[in-house]
């Protein structure tokens, strides 16, 4: 494949997919996108740590060859104002695995989210965001160890998908007239209008991925999170289709919460995954007060966006919570947080959200030793009191270091491991 600005490393081999299986050599080429804002700080820091962990884990037998790809402001500088170049998308499809820093989206005007466009264009339909506690991390919870959930957020539908019509435009007026005159809808004059598509197809493939994850990772429950009491035919339908999918495709390994109480006195039968649901607003309270009751969560795009930041806050904040956007054979790993523009270029913020997204990526390609080394080093360094500003302001006993200083401390801990 000929690229204009992407330079593929001269050595290394692309990850291939054959018969539904991923084939990863000892020297794979992985794509990375630096990202806007604090991307310049966290991405180089993480590359250093990932390389050190690979070197330590495999003593030179395995190595990553990184290919820099461009999206966002850096892409616009290189591709003549194009923030979303086709060849970046082609390269991600070709490599099948990439990791990205955050990308800027203007509020209330300007272009639509590049993150959402990326997810939709590559049909990365599941946003997977694990949230768990690491020793030494400041948490507002009394028992932060209880927190270990994985949020599966539908990534292509919902009000998030950008079907909206600005007040005062001809399209808005046309739709408003149709809704009022033909559908009997009532709303204030001049209201901005958005559409919330939630499909059976989109719901079922997301819930399928969540249940498959629960099976593979020995998890006890999958909770469908929705506001179906109010939005009956979108969020309510998500709940209905979620239960349907569980019964149709995983009836032998799942049990509903109702069945659990009716037939098993609330005691989970060995090997069964409990499928339950909670209304979205109470879920925010439950995750703070009784996190031990939850395991895998499956929800729609907007709920998942809100819930993943709130969950992250319970175990150290979005500076630490990782994520992945996944299709069946393409995955783009990314930090949960945004570009934090006020800190951009200051070498200040916590690189751990992107770092742990990399841990997810190494697990995904079947190199789990890398992730375990990074997690151990992280706990050692943080428990030892070397932290970035976000943890330092919550811990009197810690010393604040820069992003690069934190990465150096991790590299040292990895080399000594």
Which positions touch ligand NDP (CB under 6 A)? Answer: 38, 102-105, 115, 317-319, 334, 337-340, 349-350, 353, 390
Burial of 224 (0-12, 13-18, 19+ CB in 10 A): buried
Minimum CB–partner distance for residue 79 and ligand NDP (Å): 19
Minimum CB–partner distance for residue 303 and ligand AKG (Å): 12
Nearest CA to 305 out of 331, 329, 284 is that of 284
Q: How many residues bind ligand AKG (CB under 6 A)?
A: 6
Q: Is 16 among the annotated ligand-binding positions?
A: no
The rounded distance, in Å, linking the Cα atoms of 114 and 108 is 15
The rounded distance, in Å, linking the Cα atoms of 387 and 110 is 36
Q: Is 113 among the annotated ligand-binding positions?
A: yes
Q: Which residue is nearest to Mg ion (CB)?
A: 305
The rounded distance, in Å, linking the Cα atoms of 170 and 71 is 32
132 CB neighbour count, 10 Å cutoff: 19
Question: From start to end of 42-96, where are the E strands?
Answer: 65-69
Q: DSSP assignment, residue 391? A: H
94 is catalytic: no
Q: Identify the residue among 105, 121, 172, 256 touching ligand AKG (CB under 6 A).
A: 105
Nearer to ligand NDP, 136 or 338 (CB): 338
Q: Is 94 among the annotated ligand-binding positions?
A: no
Q: Which stretch binds ligand AKG (CB under 6 A): 74-82, 111-119, 221-229, 408-416?
A: 111-119
Minimum CB–partner distance for residue 317 and Mg ion (Å): 13
The rounded distance, in Å, linking the Cα atoms of 107 and 110 is 8
Nearer to ligand AKG, 83 or 243 (CB): 83
In the three-class reduction of DSSP (H, G, I as helix; E, B as strand; rest coil), residue 36 is classed as: coil
Q: Identify the residue among 15, 116, 141, 231 touching ligand AKG (CB under 6 A).
A: 116
Mention every residue, 6+ apart, whose C-beta is less than 8 A from residue 218: none
Q: Is 339 among the annotated ligand-binding positions?
A: yes
Q: Return the exposure string of 179-206: e unless at least 16 CB atoms fall within 10 Å of the residue's CB, then b.
A: eeeeeeeeeeeeeebeebebeeebbbbb
Nearer to Mg ion, 130 or 371 (CB): 130
240 is catalytic: no
Minimum CB–partner distance for residue 196 and ligand AKG (Å): 17
Tokens coding 97: 């695995």
Spatial contact of 164 and 194, defined as CB atoms under 8 Å apart = yes
Q: Is 338 among the annotated ligand-binding positions?
A: yes
Q: Identify the residue among 73, 157, 305, 408 touching ligand AKG (CB under 6 A).
A: 305
Q: Identify the residue among 3, 22, 48, 113 touching ligand AKG (CB under 6 A).
A: 113
Sheet with 221-226: strands ordered across = 65-69, 29-33, 97-100, 331-335, 322-326, 126-132, 148-154, 296-299, 221-226, 273-279, 254-256
Q: Is 112 among the annotated ligand-binding positions?
A: no
In the three-class reduction of DSSP (H, G, I as helix; E, B as strand; rest coil), residue 403 is classed as: helix
Q: Identify the residue among 115, 221, 299, 314 touching ligand AKG (CB under 6 A).
A: 115
Q: Is 85 among the annotated ligand-binding positions?
A: no
Site for Mg ion in 276-315 (CB under 5 A): 305
Nearer to ligand AKG, 115 or 303 (CB): 115
281 is catalytic: yes
125 is catalytic: no
Task: Please report, for residues 177, 229, 411, the alpha-carbon distance to residue 60 in angstroms, rounded to integers and kept in the order given.
Answer: 66, 56, 16
In the three-class reduction of DSSP (H, G, I as helix; E, B as strand; rest coil), residue 386 is classed as: strand
Nearer to ligand NDP, 259 or 309 (CB): 309
332 CB neighbour count, 10 Å cutoff: 25
Q: Which does 116 bind (CB under 5 to 8 A by kind): ligand AKG, Mg ion, ligand NDP, none?
A: ligand AKG
Site for ligand AKG in 315-374 (CB under 6 A): 336
Nearer to ligand AKG, 115 or 254 (CB): 115
In the numeric block, the tokens 């990863």 are attached to 24
Q: Which does 226 bind (CB under 5 to 8 A by kind): ligand NDP, ligand AKG, Mg ion, none?
A: none
Selecting among 70, 83, 133, 160, the annotated active-site residue is: 160
Binding residues for Mg(2+): 305
The footprint of Mg ion (CB under 5 A) covers 305
Binding residues: 104, 113, 115, 119, 129, 153, 305, 337-343, 350, 389, 393
The footprint of ligand AKG (CB under 6 A) covers 105, 113, 115-116, 305, 336
Catalytic residues: 160, 227, 281, 305
């Amino acid at each position: 494949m000929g690229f204009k600005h992407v330079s593929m490393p001269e050595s290394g081999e692309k990850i291939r997919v054959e018969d539904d299986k991923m084939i990863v050599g000892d020297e794979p080429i992985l794509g990375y996108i630096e990202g806007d804002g604090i991307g310049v700080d966290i991405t180089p820091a993480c590359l250093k740590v990932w390389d050190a962990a690979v070197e330590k884990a495999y003593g030179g037998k395995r190595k990553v060859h990184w290919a820099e790809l461009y999206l966002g402001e850096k892409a616009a500088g290189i591709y003549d104002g194009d923030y979303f170049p086709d060849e970046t998308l082609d390269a991600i499809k070709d490599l099948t695995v990439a990791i990205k820093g955050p990308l800027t989206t203007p509020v209330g005007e300007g272009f639509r989210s590049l993150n959402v466009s990326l997810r939709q264009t590559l049909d990365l339909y599941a946003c997977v965001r694990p949230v768990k506690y690491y020793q030494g991390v400041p948490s507002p919870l009394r028992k932060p160890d209880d927190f270990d959930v994985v949020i599966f957020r539908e990534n292509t539908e919902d009000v998030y998908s950008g079907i909206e019509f600005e007040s005062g435009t001809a399209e808005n007026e046309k739709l408003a007239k149709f809704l009022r005159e033909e559908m009997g809808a009532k709303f204030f004059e001049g209201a901005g209008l958005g559409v919330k598509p939630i499909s059976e197809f989109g719901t079922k493939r997301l819930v399928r991925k969540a249940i498959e994850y629960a099976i593979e990772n020995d998890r006890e429950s999958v909770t469908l999170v929705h506001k179906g009491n109010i939005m009956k035919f979108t969020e309510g339908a998500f709940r209905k289709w979620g239960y349907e999918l569980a019964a149709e495709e995983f009836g032998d390994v799942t049990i509903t919460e109702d069945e659990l109480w009716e037939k098993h006195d609330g005691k989970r039968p060995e090997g069964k995954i409990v499928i339950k649901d909670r209304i979205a607003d109470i879920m925010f309270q439950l995750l703070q007060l009784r996190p031990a009751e939850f395991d895998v969560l499956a929800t729609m795009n907007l709920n998942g966006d809100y819930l993943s930041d709130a969950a992250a806050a319970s175990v150290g904040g979005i500076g630490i919570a990782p994520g992945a956007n996944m299709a069946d054979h393409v995955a783009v790993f990314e930090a949960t947080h945004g570009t934090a523009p006020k800190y951009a270029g200051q070498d200040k913020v916590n690189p751990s959200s992107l770092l742990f997204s990399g841990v997810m990526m190494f697990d995904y390609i079947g190199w789990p030793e890398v992730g375990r080394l990074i997690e151990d080093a992280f706990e050692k360094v943080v428990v030892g009191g070397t932290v970035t500003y976000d943890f330092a302001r919550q811990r009197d006993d810690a010393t604040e270091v820069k992003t690069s200083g934190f990465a150096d401390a991790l590299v040292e801990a990895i080399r000594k491991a």
